[in-house]
Structure 1
């Protein structure tokens, strides 16, 4: 059963294909405020300030009443008060019915009405740029005569059809209208298109759309998403252990932000970043200073760039251009890169991990063994990639229980001689991480995994690894840099459960 909401018109909701009655206007306003802050906790005072411009003391009781009715109408949302506030997570769709937030009044909703309308307009213009449909462009320009970008696209489309005179006429129409309405001359894009038509050398710039699809079952990370969206267009870096979902998070953020970058989205995974950026905009086999050539090509344009799995930070030097944005992912946090806001991610929170597990496996099977499911999730430190693999494994074994899966994991851990073939996918993040470790780093993790305690200090680490204290701190910090141990206070570190599971498992094989 799916629950969907729309704010693009009246506030509406559907359970599967059946529309739900959301109650009176003020109740829908409370729901709309929660939906506009999807995944973000709102206090009672914040909600009251959003829904009522000039709240009276009775607003507190009114809010409680509306929240009660919303919970009763939409029990799937599990919308319970926690620490004096509420968090809603829901799927939003654009049903294109009319003015956003139709019927809702107040300063807060008016500001969001303008934002949502602009968001929809940009999405429409992105589609028009991809299709270059002359008739649809003409309709759009007629409806929004002062918007210069769609008029430039219409001039492109007309020129391609051999209608140069009509294309030039649109420039003169725009010039007259801008002068009359705003006292302005056409902007640089319209002037450039006009000059290129006069020279007969107008070509449509390549608009890359390279983002991988966002995962339909993406779950959680609301705080990180909100911080990233606030940070862009300044560079955002996402760092965390292998398997923590860095690429999925970067892709999800990019899809949320892409409408602010009309010149396209570029996805790079490789060492020669400048070369890949140039290829994305149509420059093959560039010579000379590729970073300088990229800056020249990107000047005046707005790209959204995702660089996945950064291995060498020097590849990113001198690539930033004003107006464009960059999202980086890396196991290591490259502190030497200027102007990067780093987000560190690890496992999901307990509610997020449980929600994600319910998305990749029949929820009824999890609910029947909820305590056992929590143990399974904890054993892999609630890391998204292992959770997905475990859910897939159980989905392929409909007669297995979660307890059977846990028993197999415990048996394989006790055997400890090798990694069973059907567990390689679960342990793939750790297998990948192990390949990058030095012998002293592996040895220290083996020693740490033997202990019952989750936390050690520098002196304990030196004693159990047989390495002098000055050298052991370097090893510990190196492991912390790749998130295999977690730094707490100065000189103390914690071993995540998933890392303990793997290196405890690997001790016989690594020491044989």
Structure 2
């Protein structure tokens, strides 16, 4: 698809327009996502941009609805929902005109710049004027366009094409009366075209604008152009190329180079210090990027360039030695070069004031080493360092990350040729992943390929993580050696923390483990972590949806540092995570049992978000917890493994994350069995039963596991655990039609929960008994159970358990013909689950409520209720819930055939199948075969009240 953001928002597919709706807010939502492709935009920021004058009552729900509508038009793959917001992902073949403009305009090639300028089709985001994020980007794009015009004009003047420059630049300069560089170039072009009078007239025009409107005199460059025209010297100044040549196969860094070049040009135009500082890991390509940038801005300092390697990562050069080196390059005689630092710096700045040059200071150790080497204003300065250089005042700091995947592919293609990459595309992708997209690692791996070694052999050698660094060694360079040189410059605490984090983190992690790794306070740990960030060994990853700053280690850094971790660090960090998980699990379950279990744990000081927002906390930290659990299983830490599994399971079950729940259940159960501890055997047996029931809606064949878990629970003497086991076994008996046994188990569980003081769990069991009573036709008894159960749940103050009870009650009311009461109960249930971020519960109740509304003849309301469930389905892995949504969607649309196609996936859940077949029979106008199938399903599910729907 082609997305156009210049002028009005337009979308086309293969040249044909795509209608994305007329609603302004919906179109604005798409524009806000498109202008940051590949990045997650926070829902709250989207809402603030959509409603700058004040938020509506339910902004997040409205944003969700706009995103849902766009996904239906553009495809779910393009607009993804992630933690905290939405992300627009470009598909192969997609183009966004403003992104294409950025990429082309940022290059130094005049032809590319012309292609970029041809894309400009009116002011960007014109349709959305007044939206601050888009207005800010429009201002940036406008500046980029003017800078691109200036770079194009300089290139064409050097090619002796002044007529072309004058023709194009005249209208642009007229629109920008205060843009001196454009007017200077226009004057040179006019004079070189033999139009000297027009050139001088152009100067008078811009001079009048600057002095009359702004009260300032023209700057040095515009005055120099005026003098050149008066003297008849119209040739553009030529640069003296003292810099090393850029890498011939340099790829990527388009956005960073554009931002850096714009910063330098803007600073030079206003007389400020023009400094860009590039930082990043060893091997990330800082020096190569600096050289490309230096060549691109070299024309702004036509006297030439100075370049020096300051050896900041090894034996840092003394600033005086560096100054004396520069002064010799500036043609100073040895005898005349001062030996005093201050005198040498003063002479250096004096010479550069007369003839500004581009200065490249490579591999700087820190701001102290750099201070004497900084030139006067008028000289572009490009610094590289492994440290962030926070003390370098006035600099634009750009931290270089590993290359984006597409640029990494381009690098391999440039080194090895496109034919080899296309022939072994899968192996090339593996190599890129194993090299963590680090340019040095990619070049070394590609170097092996230069010897005609097949790419699949290189990928196979890199596949073993333990020996990966051993394979990333070239003739003169090595990734391990580059990392080791940087590691050697770290302080003792920094080295210990880096190694500890490598051993105890698996993805993006919060700040608190730093203090635990080092055995110091959180504040002290955060200071050392900040130092590692400044050294580029740890990368900041922004804030998560809970507001916690997050960090990450690159895979090759982790492989390098993990073997260096000290003894005991994994156990210290593991115990801290277990304590946090225990408290968060207690906050989710919110009952007497979990509160008692959490009362004895000690969590790292100052942490509370895991208790305040436990669902969101588990969602944010799930990959770290899962990594720790896998590590505990692999290293024989069995007790920690099953205890972590036990605290993690509730979140996974409530979110219906069946994939991870299955792994957690298997790892934890195996560890519990190895430990032989009755508590662990009972707890993890219960999790295995839960997991099996969610996958198949039955635990048939697991009777032995159930009995072993029951026996262990009785031996452990925990009434709550025994009651939970009885509850899940009751569901298995119910699903096999053994309702008497199910009721016996539930009554015993209810009594145990009451004895344990857990009113919410006791209330939940009463609502389950209500379902069973209704199934055997005991409506009055069922009403009593439901009313008592819901009352207990309301008193307990546990919204999740109350929502589950209300759903059971609402469905039972609906299937017995009390649809208005059912609508009220299910609406209250939806309000509850919408506030606790439980995707499976919200999906199920949205479909339940939509079915109820259809039965009430309110299909329009049903469509609004069910629409957001499609986004929730992406986070639900249990098949029958997806089929239930498919059925509900078809029912709302009145599509009997599509509804029937979903029934096969509901056979394992008799009540859902019965409801679906009943509604399908009605959609088919009472066709005898459909009615017979519905009656059979109603009998199997024991829902006699539902038969009344068929007449």
Quickly name the TM-score band, shorter chain normalised. Answer: 0.5 to 0.7
Q: CA shift at 1:343, angstroms?
A: 6.5
The match for 2:372 is: 317
Q: CA shift at 1:57, angstroms?
A: 3.8
From 157, 168, 187, the counterpart of 1:155: 187
The match for 1:98 is: 122
The match for 2:282 is: 242
Q: CA shift at 1:100, angstroms?
A: 1.9
Matching of residue 124 in structure 1 with residue 149 in structure 2: yes
The match for 1:467 is: none
The match for 1:499 is: 560
Contact 2:2 2:12 in 1 (8 A): yes
Quick check: which has more Rg, 1 or 2? 2
Q: CA shift at 1:309, angstroms?
A: 2.9
In structure 1, the residue corresponding to 2:81 is in which secondary structure?
Answer: coil
Change (3 A) 1:126 1:437: closer
CA–CA distance in 2 between the matches of 1:333 and 1:51?
35
The match for 2:355 is: 297
The match for 1:510 is: none
The match for 1:270 is: 308
CA–CA distance in 1 between the matches of 2:535 and 2:207?
57
CA–CA distance in 1 between the matches of 2:87 and 2:192?
50
Matches within 5 A, 1:432-471: 432=482
Matches within 5 A, 1:261-410: 263=300, 269-271=307-309, 285=331, 289-298=347-356, 307-310=361-364, 314=369, 317-322=372-377, 326-331=381-386, 377=433, 383-387=438-442, 389-390=444-445, 400=456, 404-406=460-462
CA–CA distance in 2 between the matches of 1:7 and 1:135?
28
The match for 2:898 is: none
Contact 2:281 2:536 in 1 (8 A): yes
Q: CA RMSD in A?
A: 6.2
Matches within 5 A, 1:208-223: 212=246, 216-217=251-252
- Residue deviations 1:419-474 (CA, integer Å, cap 9, x gap): 67x84279623345668999xx9xxx9xx99xx9689x9xxx9xxxxxxxxxxxxx
Q: CA shift at 1:72, angstroms?
A: 4.8
Change (3 A) 1:192 1:29: same
The match for 1:24 is: 21
Q: TM-score, normalised by structure 1?
A: 0.61
Contact 1:271 1:315 in 2 (8 A): no
CA–CA distance in 2 between the matches of 1:354 and 1:192?
45
In structure 1, the residue corresponding to 2:474 is in which secondary structure?
Answer: helix
CA–CA distance in 2 between the matches of 1:220 and 1:116?
12
CA–CA distance in 1 between the matches of 2:536 and 2:165?
54
Change (3 A) 1:335 1:219: closer
The match for 2:85 is: 85
Q: Which segments of 5 or more consecutive residues in structure 1 lack a partner in the other structure?
A: 414-418, 462-475, 488-493, 505-512
Q: CA shift at 1:403, angstroms?
A: 7.0
Q: CA shift at 1:206, angstroms?
A: 3.9
In structure 2, the residue corresponding to 1:295 is in which secondary structure?
Answer: helix
Q: CA shift at 1:14, angstroms?
A: 7.2
In structure 2, the residue corresponding to 1:29 is in which secondary structure?
Answer: helix
Q: Which segments of 5 or more consecutive residues in structure 2 lack a partner in the other structure?
A: 91-95, 102-118, 268-272, 311-321, 338-346, 414-420, 506-513, 519-527, 540-553, 566-951
Matches within 5 A, 1:166-177: 166-175=198-207
Contact 1:238 1:330 in 2 (8 A): yes
Q: CA shift at 1:36, angstroms?
A: 3.3
Matching of residue 113 in structure 1 with residue 169 in structure 2: no
CA–CA distance in 2 between the matches of 1:399 and 1:64?
44
In structure 2, the residue corresponding to 1:100 is in which secondary structure?
Answer: coil
The match for 2:48 is: 49
The match for 1:68 is: 68
Contact 1:41 1:86 in 2 (8 A): yes
Change (3 A) 1:33 1:143: same
CA–CA distance in 2 between the matches of 1:197 and 1:337?
39
In structure 2, the residue corresponding to 1:46 is in which secondary structure?
Answer: helix
Change (3 A) 1:23 1:216: farther
Contact 2:361 2:383 in 1 (8 A): yes
**Mean Cα deviation higher: 100-109 or 209-218:** 209-218
Contact 2:256 2:398 in 1 (8 A): no
Higher share in helix: 2
- Residue deviations 1:112-159 (CA, integer Å, cap 9, x gap): 434423331231132123323235325533454324433332322343
In structure 2, the residue corresponding to 1:93 is in which secondary structure?
Answer: helix
